[in-house]
């Protein structure tokens, strides 16, 4: 029998991405935190728990010694939705195997990887369950498996799901692990679980595999936020749930009082937080209970930080696809939900909430408080050429009605065992690959760019943009939050820094910006020419005629006042 007090544990984070859970940097998912709390609760001292991301191990082979030497090595990972990532690169199957081979102690694997593994982390794939040469694979909750394995002296465990009483302890006790994340403290956002499971059964989704919704209490979530805040965390996203509006209720109807306790409690224990965002909202909740939803959305918009996004799982606007895949919201219902979110939460800091949605020349120069995001999924059962037209018509209707959506997520299905899509697999997605590419390009050109101009017009200020990488003579960065805008800034600036940026131009899903406020006595030629209405010749005149007492002295026809404070 191995005494837990003598055990050394290394947790390797290979990153997760699920329909209701995100963990690729700058996010840290709940899994490593809950697992760290579980092993400590089982008797392992905090000082004996080491946490590494897969990117750390790629960059520094010496850290593999922590993998080799640990009495217990726990790998956590799994992608059940396809995505593209800037802040980190999810572990590939060969890397996951190598971890098991290097580990000289007991190797445990868990997280959503238990649902299946593909050849790569991409859409249009059939996913297959594999043990990848690990001693143990947690077919239930990885945190419960870790607790039971430690408690048994590394002899074994029974696959099970943890209960909320355990979660209350483990979530609070595992907060310490964020201090070991390479992004801590300034560029790290903690994914927070309010519930898991779903009341609905869409054909492709892995979230129902967790069962019906199981809600934490507001006090439990607030306590975890407090512990994370005391460990230096300042950015939080309530992303681990199928529908934030249903929090504290029966899994379907909104509960505004529970949301008031949740959001108000977070603001009380984390008074200087930098980000408070959410992710998933079920549009059928809004159309089913419109008045309760309006109240709930008002509470969220009162407490959150600007630029928040409520992801709507429309998945398809085609009635045939909706029927064959048990999708729970029609295009008309989703449109109504988009309208309600715009009317309640589509105002900008500095605007009157009663004027929502606010956009145009009179709107304040910040992002709206909360907008919908639209998820569209292709390769589902019943998909046909008309499906792509249905989707484009829905998006055009939203735009033509003067409404806003923060982003449109277009992806292809990943087929997992245990879901209804396992019978169909990824065959339809593969057959429609070329049609999908053409359609996606059309949406980006015809909808995304004009919508982005509406949401973030020239002059919109984006505070605290974290500079992440250089490309083609520009520096790219993002704010922390849900689906943050990618911002390109002329010139190569020092990476890792955080600056305020004013938007000057728009791509399909990204913007060009200049430092805000722009100092016309110091601005580079590239920064000056990025401003609408200032060409290279005018920029040269500005440089030659320096210095200026203020922006009014610059003397150009273009409106430059929006780029200065």
What is the mean predicted confidence (pLDDT) over 198-214?
64
- Return d(Cα 162, Cα 165) in angstroms, integer: 8
Phi, psi (degrees; rounded to nearest 5) at 112: -65, -10
Predicted local distance difference test score (pLDDT) of residue 119: 45
Angle, helices 256-269 vs 218-230, to 10°: value is 20
Tokens of 44: 């392992």
Whether 521 contacts 548, CB under 8 Å: yes
The pLDDT score that the predictor gives to residue 318 is 93
The model's confidence at residue 431, banded by pLDDT at 50, 70 and 90, is confident
DSSP 274-291: SEEEE-B--HHHHHHSHH
Q: Is the per-residue pLDDT at 123 higher than 50?
A: no
Give the per-residue pLDDT at 101. 96
Question: What's the residue count for the chain?
Answer: 565
Average pLDDT over residues 275-289: 94
For residues 139-158, average pLDDT? 93
Best CATH choice for the domain 1-184 from the list 1.10.3450, 3.40.50, 1.10.3470, 1.20.120: 3.40.50
276-303: average pLDDT: 96
In percent, the amount of the chain with pLDDT more than 90 equals 70
Does residue 124 surpass a pLDDT of 50?
no
Q: Are 253 and 210 in contact (CB under 8 A)?
A: no
Lowest mean pLDDT, pick from 17-21, 226-230, 313-317, 381-385:
17-21
Mean pLDDT of 220-229: 97
For the stretch 166-186, pLDDT in tens is 999 999 999 999 999 999 999
pLDDT of residue 217: 94
- The tokens of 266 are what? 């977070």
| DSSP symbols for 332-346 | HHHHHHHHHHHHHH-
pLDDT in tens, 514-563: 999 999 999 999 999 999 889 899 999 899 999 988 878 887 877 888 88
**By the 8 A CB rule, do 88 and 111 touch?**
no
Looking at the DSSP assignment, which residues form a beta bridge with residue 373? 311, 407
| pLDDT of 159 over the 50 cut | yes
Cis peptide bond prior to 517, omega within 30° of 0: yes
At residue 122, the pLDDT reads 45
Banded model confidence at residue 223, pLDDT cuts 50, 70, 90: very high
pLDDT the model gives residue 131 = 65
Q: Is domain 460-553 annotated with CATH 2.40.50.140?
A: yes
Residue 208 has a pLDDT of 58
pLDDT exceeds 90 at position 49? yes
- Of 146-150, 237-241, 259-263, 464-468, the range with the lowest mean pLDDT is 237-241
Query: Do you find a cis peptide bond into 547, omega within 30 degrees of 0?
Result: yes
Confidence of residue 313 (pLDDT cuts 50, 70, 90): confident
Q: Are 406 and 110 in contact (CB under 8 A)?
A: no
**Candidate ranges 88-97, 486-495, 527-536; pick with highest mean pLDDT:** 486-495
**Rounded CA separation 310/342 (Å):** 11
Q: Which helix (H) or strand (E) holds 261?
A: helix 256-269
pLDDT, position 84: 75
- pLDDT value at residue 207: 60
Q: Is the pLDDT of residue 398 over 50?
A: yes
What is the average per-residue pLDDT within 109-136?
64
Least confident of 83-92, 206-215, 445-454: 206-215
* pLDDT for the residue numbered 170: 97
Q: Are 159 and 145 in contact (CB under 8 A)?
A: yes
The overall pTM is greater than 0.75 = yes
Domain segments of the chain: what residues? 1-184, 460-553
User: Which parts of 275-414 fold into alpha helices (H)?
Assistant: 283-288, 290-303, 319-324, 331-345, 385-400
Average pLDDT, the chain: 90
Q: What is the pLDDT of residue 421?
A: 58
- CB-based contacts of 120: which residues, under 8 Å, 6+ apart? 92
The one-character DSSP state at 320 is H
> Could you say which DSSP state residue 117 is in?
B
Beta bridge partners of 78: 16
């Amino acid at each position: 029998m191995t005494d837990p007090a003598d055990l050394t544990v290394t947790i390797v984070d290979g990153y997760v991405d699920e329909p209701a859970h995100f963990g690729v940097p700058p996010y840290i998912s709940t899994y490593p935190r809950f697992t760290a709390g579980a092993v400590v609760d089982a008797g392992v001292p905090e000082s004996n728990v080491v946490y590494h991301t897969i990117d750390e191990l790629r960059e520094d082979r010496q850290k593999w010694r922590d993998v080799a030497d640990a009495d217990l090595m726990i790998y956590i990972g799994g992608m059940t939705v396809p995505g593209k990532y800037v802040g980190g690169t999810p572990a590939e199957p060969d890397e996951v195997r190598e971890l098991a081979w290097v580990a000289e102690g007991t190797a445990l694997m868990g997280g959503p990887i238990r649902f299946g593994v593909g050849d790569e982390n991409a859409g249009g794939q059939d996913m297959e369950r594999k043990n990848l040469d690990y001693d143990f694979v947690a077919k239930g909750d990885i945190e419960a498996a870790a607790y039971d394995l430690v408690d048994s002296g590394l002899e074994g465990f029974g696959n099970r799901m943890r209960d909320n009483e355990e979660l209350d302890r483990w979530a609070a006790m595992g907060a310490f692990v964020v201090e070991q994340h390479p992004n801590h403290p300034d560029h790290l956002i903690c994914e927070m679980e309010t519930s898991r499971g779903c009341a609905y059964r869409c054909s492709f989704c892995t979230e129902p595999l967790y069962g019906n919704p199981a809600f934490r209490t507001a006090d439990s979530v607030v306590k975890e936020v407090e512990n994370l805040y005391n460990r230096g965390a300042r950015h939080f996203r309530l992303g681990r749930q199928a529908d934030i509006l249903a929090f504290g209720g029966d899994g379907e109807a909104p509960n505004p009082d529970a949301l008031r306790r949740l959001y108000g409690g977070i603001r009380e224990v984390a008074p200087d937080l930098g980000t408070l965002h959410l992710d998933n909202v079920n549009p059928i909740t809004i159309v089913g209970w419109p008045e309760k939803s309006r109240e709930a959305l008002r509470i969220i918009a009162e407490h959150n930080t600007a630029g928040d996004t409520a992801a709507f799982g429309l998945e398809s606007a085609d009635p045939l696809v909706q029927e064959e895949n048990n999708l729970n919201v029609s295009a008309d219902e989703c449109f109504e939900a988009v309208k309600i979110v715009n009317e309640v939460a589509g105002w900008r800091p500095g605007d009157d909430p009663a004027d929502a949605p606010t956009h145009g020349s009179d709107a304040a120069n910040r992002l709206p408080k909360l907008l919908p995001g639209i998820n569209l999924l292709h390769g589902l059962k019943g998909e046909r050429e008309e499906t792509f037209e249905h989707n484009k018509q829905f998006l055009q209707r939203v735009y033509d009605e003067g409404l806003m959506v923060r982003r449109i997520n277009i992806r292809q299905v990943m087929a997992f065992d245990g879901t209804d899509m396992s019978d169909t697999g990824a065959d339809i997605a593969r057959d429609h690959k070329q049609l999908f590419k053409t359609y996606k390009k059309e949406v980006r050109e015809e909808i995304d760019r004009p919508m982005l101009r509406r949401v973030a017009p020239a002059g919109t200020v984006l505070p605290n943009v974290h500079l992440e990488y250089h490309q083609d003579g520009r520096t790219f960065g993002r704010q922390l939050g849900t689906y943050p805008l990618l911002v390109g800034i002329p010139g190569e600036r020092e990476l890792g820094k955080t600056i305020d940026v004013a938007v000057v131009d728009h791509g399909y899903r990204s913007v060009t910006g200049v430092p805000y406020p722009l100092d016309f006595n110091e601005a580079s030629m590239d920064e000056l020419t990025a401003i609408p209405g200032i060409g290279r010749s005018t920029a040269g005149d500005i440089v030659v005629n320096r210095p200026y007492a203020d922006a009014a002295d610059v003397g150009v026809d273009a409106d430059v006042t929006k780029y200065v404070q």
